[in-house]
Amino acid sequence: MAEENAEPTYSSLEPTDKKKGGFTASSFIFVLLALDNMGFVANMCSLVLYFLYVMHLDLAHSANLLTNFMGSNYLLSLVGGFISDTYLSRFTTCLIFGAVEILALAMMTIQAYSKHLHPKETCLTKCVEGRIAVMLYASLCLLALGTGGVRGALPALGADQFNRKEEAKSLATFFNWLLLSTTVGSIIGVTAIVTVSTEVAWYWGFFICTAGAFVGFAVLAMGKPFYRLQIRGHSPIIRVIQVIVVAIKNRSLLQPGSSHELYEISENDPKYTEEKIAHTGQFSCLDKAAILGKDSKPQPWKVCTVTQVEEVKVLTRMLPIFFSTIIMNTCLAQLQTFSVQQGSIMDRHLGRIEVPAPSIPVIPLLFMSVLIPLYEFFFIPFARKITKHPSGITQLQRVGVGLVLCAISMAVAGIVEVKRKNQANKDFTKPISLFWLSFQYAIFGIADMFTLVGLLEFFYKEAPVGMKSLSTSFTFLSLSLGYFLSSIFVDVINVVTSRITPSKQGWLHGKDLNKNNLQLFYYFLAILSCINFVNYVYWASWYKYKADEADPKLQLKVLQQTPAIHNDSSVVQESGSKTNEAAASTEENREEKVATL
């Protein structure tokens, strides 16, 4: 017999929060996103120059250190997602990791200010050692942990404010405004803060980032009375492991003739706290985890509910989509490393104003700041009339558009690099304008607008209720693996091409871009992106959206017709054969309505 005050099986929103949430609550989150990304993007675009000219690291080491930092940053978003789904609320998780982020930025400010923590100007090799290395790498590690943890919990916290069925359209709008607020903050970061860092002093740039983060998290804390906060649930990782272990234990059992014979908690059971996920036919081997043996009582690690099994199926279906976006983020890493280094040796004058090379990403950001409102107010309403989809087009279609534009961006980057290098070899005193890089940045900026928001909405909506933060973190895990893969590509391509080129030097060897073959690296990524898109189309066509997007009345009918197995092991089997046949027919009709790309 279940206890009356049984702990929720998985996390849910507070039951008394109907007057909370909405855009009033999310406005505090938008402010934090703008202020926090103001510093994050500024550092992302300029740190490679800080490593190169202040810490005296070489070109490849500087690029790899930045990509490894960015990769770690996004990888650690899983930590924030896991903690906020299991142990703490998403709001508390954001504040704790926010404090770590502020500490890291303060440490970077101190190192940039103190000459005693800089390598000597005459240093050529092994410049970062001893206390200099400790301070640099400790601050970078803490910054990756802090920003990663916040990023793992914050999008889900914002989306929770629109978690009711009637707010489906508002949820799509939230993710668009989330990107817009990030974009506005990024524009300030890559212009004002980058200019201060490169033209005035690095420590002033880091100090502004620290102050901005502090104000942003203070605003987030002020919004607590307006938030819908989720109830702490069980570990999503344990729930997944339980399904796998029990399915292996039950591998010798015969599959039941109907999915209605699988174990599920009744809506009348005190442990029932959340909506169920209807059964699907994919990965039927996992269904054996929901088979309850004769004369057996439902206990953890002996049987799992259909909903729990379907949670694992959802995550499994997501994996190919997740892996298909890694290459795009590898391309993004090049625009934040090699493209910045290209810009540093190009003509950076706009009239009498000299533009810092790291500020060139402001061009795609300006594009996005205009295109996002146009997309929200014009494209989505028009597309909704045609597709009847709350977001205008499906999340997977949106991601697909981004992947195509990514390949185009890399091809354009290669062409621009050929033009830049030809002019440099012809007359290095008259380099081409920095704004030639705007073409590749603008195309990739639009690609990012489609892909990033599409992935965030996809992972949040498709994820099981108790895994929203962890699932949303998959977007940033893809970014992480993309950055790490970039570092691997740089090293491997350098080694391989050094053996086949006449000069015995790799495509990306040394500090002089005019003597290497960066354009070939860009072409390589463009071809790889095309192959990746074909792979993505296959898996996106195969994917079945979660069944809860179907007609809620139809699902309720299915649930009402589904026999329930209670904790006293009594199986309700009194319904007649006609009822079972109707339920099976209803389920078949529902599964046929599951949308695909």
- The identity of residue 338, as a single letter, is F
- State the Cα–Cα distance between residues 472 and 482, nearest whole angstrom: 16
Cβ–Cβ under 8 Å, residues 218 and 15: no
**pLDDT tens sequence for the chain (597 residues):** 333 333 443 344 555 456 777 888 889 999 999 999 998 888 887 888 888 888 878 777 887 788 788 878 888 888 888 888 888 888 999 999 999 999 999 999 999 888 888 777 766 667 777 788 888 889 999 999 999 999 888 988 888 888 665 566 677 788 888 889 999 998 999 888 988 888 888 889 999 999 999 999 999 999 888 888 876 666 777 888 888 888 888 888 777 777 777 777 765 555 555 567 777 777 878 888 888 777 677 777 888 888 888 888 888 888 898 899 899 888 887 877 778 778 778 888 877 777 777 777 787 788 888 888 888 888 888 888 888 777 778 888 889 999 999 999 999 999 998 998 888 888 878 888 888 888 888 888 888 888 888 888 888 888 877 778 888 888 888 888 888 888 888 888 888 887 877 767 777 776 677 878 888 889 999 999 999 999 999 998 888 776 544 334 433 333 343 333 333 333 333 333 343 444 444 444 444 443 343
Q: 589: which 2 tokens?
A: 């009709």
Cβ–Cβ under 8 Å, residues 306 and 281: no
Angle CA 69–74–79, to nearest 5: 115
pLDDT value of position 569 = 36
Domain positions in the chain: 22-231+313-542, 236-312+547-592
- State the Cα–Cα distance between residues 39 and 37, nearest whole angstrom: 5
Identify the three-state secondary structure at position 482: helix
Between the alpha carbon of residue 121 and those of residues 54, 128, 132, 510, the distances in Å are 8, 12, 14, 19
Q: 418: which 2 tokens?
A: 């050929």
Between the alpha carbon of residue 54 and those of residues 67, 123, 127, 299, 344, the distances in Å are 18, 11, 10, 60, 15
Query: pTM for the whole thing?
Result: 0.74
- State the Cα–Cα distance between residues 242 and 309, nearest whole angstrom: 9
Closest CA to 344 of 422, 261, 448, 420: 420
- State the Cα–Cα distance between residues 194 and 214, nearest whole angstrom: 19
Q: 349-350 and 353-354: which strand pairing?
A: antiparallel
- State the Cα–Cα distance between residues 588 and 179, nearest whole angstrom: 38
Q: Is the dihedral of CA 208, 332, 354, 368 positive or negative?
A: negative
Q: What is the CA radius of gyration of the chain?
A: 26
Please tell me what DSSP assigns to residue 293. P
- State the Cα–Cα distance between residues 305 and 192, nearest whole angstrom: 54
- State the Cα–Cα distance between residues 282 and 299, nearest whole angstrom: 25
Cβ–Cβ under 8 Å, residues 175 and 159: yes
pLDDT value of position 233 = 62
Q: Which residues of 382-420 are buried (b: 16+ CB within 10 A; e: fewer)?
A: ebbeeeebbbbbbbbbbbbbbbbbbbbbbbbbbbbbbeb
* Token pair 């908690």 in the structure block, residue: 265
By the 10 Å C-beta count (0-12 exposed, 13-18 middle, 19+ buried), 50 is classed as buried
Task: Please count the helices (runs of H) and the strands (runs of E) in the chain.
Answer: 20, 2
pLDDT value of position 409 = 92
pLDDT value of position 588 = 42
Cβ–Cβ under 8 Å, residues 444 and 335: yes
- State the Cα–Cα distance between residues 445 and 182, nearest whole angstrom: 13
* Token pair 């709001």 in the structure block, residue: 91
Residue 509 CA neighbour count, 13 Å, CB half: 14
User: Could you tell me which residues come within 8 angstroms of residue 434 by beta carbon, excluding any fewer than 6 positions away?
Assistant: 343, 346, 347, 348, 355, 357, 360
- For residue 133, is it left (φ>0), alpha (ψ between -120 and 50) or beta? alpha
SS3 content of the chain, % helix, strand, coil (to 5): 70, 0, 30
Q: 214: which 2 tokens?
A: 């502090």
- State the Cα–Cα distance between residues 149 and 141, nearest whole angstrom: 12
Look up the CATH number of domain 22-231+313-542.
1.20.1250.20
Q: 503: which 2 tokens?
A: 């000069």
- State the Cα–Cα distance between residues 322 and 536, nearest whole angstrom: 9
